[in-house]
């Protein structure tokens, strides 16, 4: 038993000696540049990037492009089966041809002849009435004969006016039918165009989500297209930092795809609506030094520069205690005044000099 106690004491003494021999990490303030910045994370997005949607439902008949293809604005990317649309279009053409105003001009000419005939009859009855009125004024003829002439003239006049009304009404109907059928033909043609899906931009096909023979709808994207030479950054900035961000600010970007490299960019746009779920704002930026090869959705991390100072006294941030104290010995703390801070270091405005030594908090 005494031997066990002796061994335990030896191990304890050795542990104490090791602890006493381990030195606490120290450093001294240095003069250097410091930059205050806001951290943001996000991803790369192709400029003018958008998802291609069908305007109508149907079966994907043909895909005219493949993933990775370069396309130009207006190029047909996909064709949806349009058999029914073709039939509707042909029917609309027949209706338009049948309702064309010039095609129905003979109907108007027929009414025009009826108007001319009723006009001549009315004029003749008016002359007869005038003669009868002259005779009656000379006390020749009877009252009954005069009234008969007046009635005959009134009927002829009514017939003439009725013929003119029928002509005007038919003219309106033919105009309406002709214009309506032409509009229906235009709508039919437009609907046929909906079965051919075209590119809205000059760019690159980054992804295709449907295969030939599959059903497509306006709610499900067909492909992803974007500019192949110009990319932007989509960053998420915390709500606590967004008030310090404005267009034109410089930022430095790091990417897993380019480890050890730093790229510059500038803020171009701030989305004013906060994402309530993440409590962050979406900020767009454009590269001033774009990497040689990029792809959509590559992840990035960025430091947005708020302000910089040259030749200031700094210490590593890990040496700060509660953002206002440092250890100047193993047992003594000193209060300091802190200025700018980044993720690794802090500016010391008062309380330290380059001659001081500070200790890493335990």
* Digit-coded pLDDT (tens) for 70-91: 999 999 999 888 665 565 656 6
**Same domain, yes or no, for 202 and 137?**
no
**Same domain, yes or no, for 35 and 73?**
no
Query: Is residue 1 in a domain?
Result: no
Query: Is residue 62 in a domain?
Result: yes
Query: Is residue 332 in a domain?
Result: yes
**Same domain, yes or no, for 313 and 270?**
yes
Query: Is residue 240 in a domain?
Result: yes
Q: Across-strand partners of 198?
A: 76
Which structural domain, as residue segments, surrounds residue 171? 82-194
> pLDDT by residue (tens digit) across 127-167?
988 988 888 888 888 888 888 988 998 998 998 889 889 88
Residue 331, pLDDT > 60, answer: yes
Q: How many domains does the chain have?
A: 3
- Average pLDDT over the chain, rounded to whole? 85
Predicted confidence at residue 2, as pLDDT, reads 44
Query: CA geometry: angle at 29 spanning 26 and 30, to 5°?
Result: 125
Half-sphere exposure of 110 (CA within 13 A, CB side): 6
Give CA separation, 95 vs 29, 99, 169, 234, in Å: 89, 6, 21, 52
- % of the chain exceeding 70 in pLDDT: 86
**Same domain, yes or no, for 246 and 309?**
yes
pTM above 0.75, yes or no: no
**Same domain, yes or no, for 143 and 213?**
no
**Same domain, yes or no, for 234 and 354?**
yes
**Same domain, yes or no, for 266 and 127?**
no
- Strand boundaries in 47-169, DSSP class E: 50-53, 58-63, 70-71, 76-80
253: CB partners within 8 A, 6+ apart:
233, 262, 263, 264, 265, 285, 287, 300, 301, 302
Predicted confidence at residue 11, as pLDDT, reads 43
More confident residue, 345 or 42: 42
Query: Is residue 58 in a domain?
Result: yes
Query: Is residue 4 in a domain?
Result: no
């Amino acid at each position: 038993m005494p031997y066990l106690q002796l061994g335990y004491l030896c191990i304890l003494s050795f542990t104490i000696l090791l602890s006493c021999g381990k030195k606490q990490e120290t450093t001294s303030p240095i003069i250097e540049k410091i930059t205050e910045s806001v951290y943001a994370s996000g991803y790369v997005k192709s400029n003018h990037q958008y998802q291609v949607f069908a305007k109508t439902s149907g079966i994907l008949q043909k895909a005219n492009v493949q993933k990775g293809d370069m396309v130009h604005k207006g190029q047909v990317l996909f064709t949806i089966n349009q058999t029914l649309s073709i039939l509707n279009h042909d029917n609309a053409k027949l209706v338009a041809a049948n309702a064309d105003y010039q095609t129905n001009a003979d109907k108007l000419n027929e009414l025009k002849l009826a108007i001319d005939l009723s006009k001549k009859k009315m004029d003749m009855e008016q002359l007869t009435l005038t003669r009868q009125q002259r005779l009656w004024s000379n006390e020749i003829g009877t009252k009954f004969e005069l009234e008969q002439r007046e009635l005959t003239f009134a009927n002829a006049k009514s017939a003439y006016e009725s013929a003119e009304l029928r002509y005007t009404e038919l003219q309106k109907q033919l105009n309406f039918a002709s214009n309506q059928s032409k509009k229906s033909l235009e709508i039919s043609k437009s609907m046929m165009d909906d079965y051919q899906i075209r590119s809205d931009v000059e760019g690159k096909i980054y992804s295709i989500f449907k295969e030939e023979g599959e059903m497509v709808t306006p709610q499900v994207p067909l492909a992803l297209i974007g500019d192949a030479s110009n990319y932007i950054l989509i960053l998420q900035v915390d709500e606590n930092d967004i008030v310090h961000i404005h267009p034109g600010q410089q930022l430095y970007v790091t990417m897993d795809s380019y480890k050890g490299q730093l790229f510059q960019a500038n803020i171009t746009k701030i989305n004013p609506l906060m994402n309530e779920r993440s409590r962050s704002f979406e900020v767009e930026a454009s590269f001033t030094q774009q990497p040689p090869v990029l792809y959509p959705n590559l992840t990035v991390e960025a430091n947005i520069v708020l302000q910089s100072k040259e030749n200031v006294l700094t210490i590593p941030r890990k040496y700060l205690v509660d953002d206002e104290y440092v250890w100047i010995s193993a047992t003594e703390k000193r209060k300091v005044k802190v200025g700018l801070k980044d993720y690794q270091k802090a500016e010391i405005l008062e309380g330290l000099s380059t001659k001081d030594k500070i200790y890493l908090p335990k």
